[in-house]
């Protein structure tokens, strides 16, 4: 399993370089068509990602976040028109998964906009997420065949197929107290022979991870909220349940990025951070 990371350089390029940039991108695409299969993991806002095989299948997880929420980031302004029209980096999404209803993971009005502009994306998520969207685009939510409510149980995960991807959706608690009623879904996505895990805002509860059998999932790439790596119970959770070949720390507030990067470099030097929206890492066999 190999991995390479590519930083989004567009932010630092002047306009006069843009033609050159697109030429290089085109050459990269032509070149990559002739090499081994790989999966591209691309960072969006907060804990949002697009997972792609670079060919037929593109799966978005927690990606319909546009505005900053609390301390968590949104999309850079220059990318919002592409999001609103489901074009450019946001084009050709086959399936959209949402872990839970919190606004740093899904923004109902933006989700309505994206789903209505997309022609083929299927949204598969909890009734809680869909209920909040219904308040913003009632007619669409009630009539679109592209909205699919799923209801996995601890002893029964849901499995969906889309394009060349297989998606397993399972329950992982967001925690007790005021969050006890919340459905938080974990997603194990297999694409191009690579197994990628996204856990949403799963609470750091050993019993819950055990119940969901996360340790047996043979994960290649784990997308993990950064607080799992901070001092406390997270380290043990990572060692016992999230032992993946590759780990990417995510859900990092922009205001804490420098500090988190510095800390991980010392304590978890192998953990990747995709710092900017559209930064990506490639994983291949």
Contacts with Zn ion by CB under 5 A lie at 102, 201
Our CB check for Zn ion shows the closer of 185 and 241 to be 185
| CB 84, min distance to Zn ion, A | 24
The two beta strands, 221-225 and 194-198, are parallel
How far apart (Å, rounded) are the C-alpha atoms in residues 209 and 29?
Answer: 39
Instruction: Report how far apart the first and last C-alpha atoms of the chain are (Å, whole number).
Output: 5
Our CB check for Zn ion shows the closer of 69 and 263 to be 69
Our CB check for Zn ion shows the closer of 57 and 110 to be 110
| CB 128, min distance to Zn ion, A | 11
How far apart (Å, rounded) are the C-alpha atoms in residues 251 and 105?
Answer: 9
Q: Kindly state the tokens that stand for 241.
A: 């349940």
Our CB check for Zn ion shows the closer of 201 and 279 to be 201
How far apart (Å, rounded) are the C-alpha atoms in residues 141 and 137?
Answer: 6
CA distances from 129 to 112, 183, 226, 275 (A): 11, 9, 24, 27
For 14-23, b/e burial (b = at least 16 CB within 10 A) is eeeeeeeeee
SS (H, E, C) 92-153: CCCEEECCCCCCCCCCHHHHHHHHHHCCCCEEEECHHHHHHHHCCCHHHHHHCCCEEECCCE
| CB 64, min distance to Zn ion, A | 15
How far apart (Å, rounded) are the C-alpha atoms in residues 173 and 138?
Answer: 28
Our CB check for Zn ion shows the closer of 198 and 246 to be 198
Our CB check for Zn ion shows the closer of 5 and 203 to be 203
| CB 87, min distance to Zn ion, A | 29
Our CB check for Zn ion shows the closer of 38 and 201 to be 201
């Amino acid at each position: 399993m190999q991995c390479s990371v590519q930083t989004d350089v567009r932010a630092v390029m002047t306009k006069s370089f843009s033609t050159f940039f697109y030429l290089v991108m085109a050459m990269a695409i032509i070149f990559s068509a002739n090499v081994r299969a790989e999966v591209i993991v691309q960072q969006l806002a907060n804990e949002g990602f697009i997972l792609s095989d670079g060919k037929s299948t593109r799966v978005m997880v927690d990606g319909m976040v546009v505005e900053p929420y609390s301390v968590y980031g949104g999309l850079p302004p220059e990318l919002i028109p592409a999001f609103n029209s489901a074009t450019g980096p946001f084009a050709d999404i086959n399936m959209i998964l949402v872990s839970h209803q919190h606004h740093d993971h899904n923004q109902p009005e933006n989700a309505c906009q994206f789903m209505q502009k997309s022609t083929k994306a299927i949204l598969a998520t909890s009734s809680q997420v869909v209920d909040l969207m219904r308040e913003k685009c009632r007619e669409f939510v009630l009539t679109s065949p592209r909205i699919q409510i799923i209801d996995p149980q601890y002893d029964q995960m849901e499995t969906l197929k889309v394009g060349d991807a297989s998606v397993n959706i399972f329950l992982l608690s967001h925690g007790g107290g005021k969050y006890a009623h919340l459905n938080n879904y974990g997603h194990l996505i297999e694409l191009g022979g690579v197994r990628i895990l996204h856990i949403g805002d799963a609470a750091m509860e050993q019993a819950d991870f055990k119940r969901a059998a996360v340790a047996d999932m043979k994960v290649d790439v784990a997308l993990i909220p950064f607080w799992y790596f901070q001092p406390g119970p997270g380290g043990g959770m990572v060692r016992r349940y999230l032992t993946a070949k590759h780990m990417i720390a995510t859900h990092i507030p922009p205001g804490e990025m420098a500090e988190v990067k510095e800390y991980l470099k010392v304590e978890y030097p192998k953990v990747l951070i995709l710092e900017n929206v559209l930064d990506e890492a490639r994983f291949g066999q």
